[in-house]
Amino acid sequence: MHKSGVPTVGTELGREILMQLGTLQLYGMDPQLTPMERGLVKYSLLMDKSGLMDAHMRFMKQFGELERDWQLTKDAAAVSKGSGVEARPPVRKKAVEGMRAIRLVELKVGKRNHGRVLYATICADTFFLSLIQTLVEDDEGHAARVMIDDATLDGSASWAKAQRRYPKGAKVAIKAPFLSDLPDESIALYVNSEEDLVVLSDSSPYVAEVDPWEGVDVASLRAEGNRLFSKGDWPGAIEFYTKCIQKATSSNQRKIPGSKNKKRGHSESNGLTSNGKVSTETVMLAYSNRAAAWMKLSHYERALADAGEALHLDPQHLKSIYRKGCALHQMQQFEQARDCFAMALEHAPEKEIKLAHERSSVCDQQSRLGVYDIHKYLLDDYDGSTPPEYSDYVGPVEIKLMEGKGKRGLFVTRDVEVGELLLVSNALAVVHAEGRRMFTSSGRSNATLRDELVFKLSNLVLKSSKWLQQMCNLADCDCHGNGKVPSLELFRPNSKWNSSKDDVPLARIKGVVLQNALGESGSCARALVAGQQPPMRQFLGLWPLPSFINHSCASNSFRLHVGDTLFLHASRPIEAGEEVTLAYVNTLLPRQMRHDLLDKDSWEFKCNCSRCELETNLCAPLKQVSRRFQSLWGYKESVTPGQAESFKMAKLALNLEHILKNVGLYLYEIQLIRASFFIMYWIGYLNLDRLGDLAKRLPLPENLIDAMTTATPGDPMSLFFAGFWLKKFQEQGANGAVIDDAQKRAMHICRCIYGKQKSEVLKRLVKAHDVTINV
Ligand SMILES: C[S@@+](CC[C@H](N)C(=O)[O-])C[C@H]1O[C@@H](n2cnc3c(N)ncnc32)[C@H](O)[C@@H]1O
């Protein structure tokens, strides 16, 4: 134990806490800890090298695949050169004279130690996320995580660059060392200027590597590519197919200067023809296999280019035709993909090709007609664990410039009915919370999840110029896609887009995520049908076209998530030219709480929709009810019938009814306010017995359902509520008209959520929301 009483380096206590709680805290995964435990864990994590290494390695592994791929793309030039070896930059040697050394255990959280220097060794591989991250160990064996804000490694940086700059084993001196509490609730040495981290010596001297594959024949290079491919090492395979192609091209050019041999030649075992040239077949197969490897890495544009090269050399090569089809399909060029598979089927009527042909044909139809059979997935015995594939669809909508709200919005081009499909969009990227909390204790969305999404996206935009352009057009904190209106063709399947040399720095991707990422909504199709109440599946993702939809607390559309595909249905009739709006947060709450939620979720705007305006105007009469509601909100006791707090809530609903009658409002306005305090009424129903005669003053449940539908049609909570009352009426043997009426209400909400469906399907959907609400 250190004399300050804080457990230090790998002490038994520190280790024990680590064992019990894992290293979750380090990367912002926030187990329920008391402040005391939190302090201990933070400190033991700070100093325990093995625990730190463990967490660091796990984090690196998580991103390993993506990074390798990213690095491969970024360093494509180096890969194609073959050696992949780059000179390390000269070691930066700067004197740290006149500064007194300080040890890790002497550092206090939040205190910058000016004039002091911490000598340490980089003991783990360095990597680059939004900040450079690595571990250092001081001379006494204490270790700490370091976050370096190095502006010279901008958004285009990769791990390779970060590792060259801060190599493992290097001796470093950290000036004015500063232990900081990071936003993800972990602790680290924070270096906010690269000047403050001085690399004193690079312990692993750079040795120029000699490429051992120099002089190896093309067939062996391709065989090595195949070996790596079969092991699942796609980047490795690509490297060798590339070596093979380059060697073949240069040796053939040497044989016949200025000419390309495109005729199929007889192949010897070393990949050469009898006249000493590399056989066309060897090169064609290298291209075709490289296309397959690019596919594995989701580099569909590169895969398409390579399959095209292979077919240029052998137009009949079945695998290349098939691979071309697969790449086109992934790029949502469904019509061309279908034609490719049809051509492949002429050569070989294989099952796999037939299925691919069918998939492309279905997606092509979906993208043109906007007809999707999601009810099959929702209601019928669906045997796959992942949902079927759905194509993107752009319905009767357009992006237009507008006043305010970030200058752009989505508008309908014609009158639209309730339940009409407005668009379907597949996520550019999604990250799942998987047991982690979506929100930190302060209510902000989990920064680690956001970082993961940023990382996935930064990797993705390198793979396709379409995805890159979609990203470039989205708003970030400072710029709203340059205030331009992108062509809808960029979001429509089967359309062409121009290749782009745009670059999106990491900082911009972060801004785009902050402004556009959609999170947990309680609107995941299957979970809804299973009757689970929100929150259900927890995720954060980015959907390109839906990113143009602005928020309203009285929205007119609903987003349904089927796997990673977002379906947007109209939840009210929308007139031609009207703006499409979505509720970004739970809107069955009073205005101030809705605004607080928007704030906490990092949306930096205040909603001033008509519903917010109404509540602002009624601020004075509603003030007391709102205050008391907020103070009772969130207590378990408030929703437990029989508890004093629950009864207070129920009485508050009666108070509100009294106010609403006296202020002199239209029914429509009364409904909006009731929806804002929906939970209060619900608790009123929970306390019917205790309210006695007063209960008559509560609106009927069907009025409350109508109120919810008026304010925010298609809210899943209203469906659960409507489903519950329907079941209750049926159990009580209510008369046919009452049951019919309740059924119609529930079916209407189902239509807002699941879209236009046959009445039989809607009835089955209503029945599937068979939840037990303890009323
Ligand atoms: C997902 S984007 C919506 C599209 C955005 N207006 C654009 O031009 O790209 C979210 C951003 O739009 C703006 N926004 C959305 N709804 C708004 C509202 N009701 N009032 C004001 N600004 C809004 C905010 O700047 C918000 O961060």
Answer whether 594's CB lies under 8 Å from 630's CB. Answer: no
Integer Cα distance of 105 and 38 in angstroms: 18
With a 6 Å cutoff on the Cβ, whether 336 touches ligand 1 is: no
Phi and psi at residue 725, to the nearest 5°:
-70, -35
Integer Cα distance of 576 and 412 in angstroms: 6
Q: Which pLDDT does position 185 carry in this prediction?
A: 53
With a 6 Å cutoff on the Cβ, whether 699 touches ligand 1 is: no
In the block, residue with structure tokens 């509601």: 629
645: tokens are 């707090």
Q: What would the mean pLDDT of 29-54 be, rounded to a whole number?
A: 52
User: If we measure between CA atoms, which residue out of 287, 366, 353, 345 comes closest to residue 326?
Assistant: 353
Residue 559's pLDDT band (cuts 50, 70, 90) = very high
Domains of the chain, CATH where assigned: 12-202 (2.40.50.140), 218-369 (1.25.40.10), 393-587 (2.170.270.10), 604-768 (no CATH)
The burial class, CB within 10 Å (0-12 / 13-18 / 19+), for 254 is exposed
Beta-strand pair 557-562/565-570? antiparallel
Integer Cα distance of 584 and 547 in angstroms: 11
Amino acid in position 615: E
Residue 546 alpha carbon to ligand 1 centre in Å? 11
Q: For a ligand 1 pocket test, name from 551, 585, 594, 598 the mutation site with the most ligand atoms within 8 angstroms of its C-beta.
A: 551
Residue 436's pLDDT band (cuts 50, 70, 90) = low
The one-character DSSP state at 176 is: S
Residue 599 alpha carbon to ligand 1 centre in Å? 13
Integer Cα distance of 67 and 64 in angstroms: 5
Residue 718 alpha carbon to ligand 1 centre in Å? 26
What percentage of the chain carries pLDDT values higher than 70?
74
Answer whether 135's CB lies under 8 Å from 149's CB. Answer: no
Residue 445's pLDDT band (cuts 50, 70, 90) = low
Choice among 197-201, 449-453, 509-513, 634-638 with the minimum mean pLDDT: 634-638
Residue 405 alpha carbon to ligand 1 centre in Å? 5
Integer Cα distance of 726 and 141 in angstroms: 67
With a 6 Å cutoff on the Cβ, whether 547 touches ligand 1 is: yes
CA geometry: angle 541, 545, 547, nearest 5 deg: 55
Q: Which pLDDT does position 355 carry in this prediction?
A: 96
SS3 category, 267: coil
Residue 23's pLDDT band (cuts 50, 70, 90) = very low
SS3 category, 486: coil
Q: What would the mean pLDDT of 700-712 be, rounded to a whole number?
A: 95
Residue 614's pLDDT band (cuts 50, 70, 90) = very high
Top-confidence residue, 432 or 418: 418
- Which of 129-143, 460-474, 509-523, 750-764 has maximum average pLDDT? 750-764
Q: Which pLDDT does position 725 carry in this prediction?
A: 87
Integer Cα distance of 744 and 556 in angstroms: 20
Spatial neighbors of 298 by CB under 8 A, at least 6 apart, are 330, 460, 463
Compute CA 346 distance to the chain's CA centroid, rounded to the nearest angstrom.
40
Strands, E assignment, 575-668: 581-582
The burial class, CB within 10 Å (0-12 / 13-18 / 19+), for 403 is exposed
Ligand 1, atom 4, residue with closest C-alpha: 548
Q: For a ligand 1 pocket test, name from 399, 401, 402, 405 the mutation site with the most ligand atoms within 8 angstroms of its C-beta.
A: 405
With a 6 Å cutoff on the Cβ, whether 408 touches ligand 1 is: yes
Beta-strand pair 581-582/550-551? parallel
Is residue 767 predicted with pLDDT exceeding 60? yes
With a 6 Å cutoff on the Cβ, whether 134 touches ligand 1 is: no
Residue 130's pLDDT band (cuts 50, 70, 90) = low
Q: Using the atom order of ligand 1, give the atom closest to the CA of residue 549.
A: 3
Its pTM stands at 0.76
Quick: pLDDT tens for 510-551.
889 988 998 864 455 656 666 554 445 678 899 999 999 999
Amino acid in position 647: F
Question: Could you tell me the CA-to-CA distances from 278 to 221, 268, 286 in Å, in that order?
Answer: 12, 9, 12
Strands, E assignment, 236-325: none
- For residue 296, how many other CB atoms are within 10 A of its CB? 16
Interface confidence, given as ipTM, is 0.99
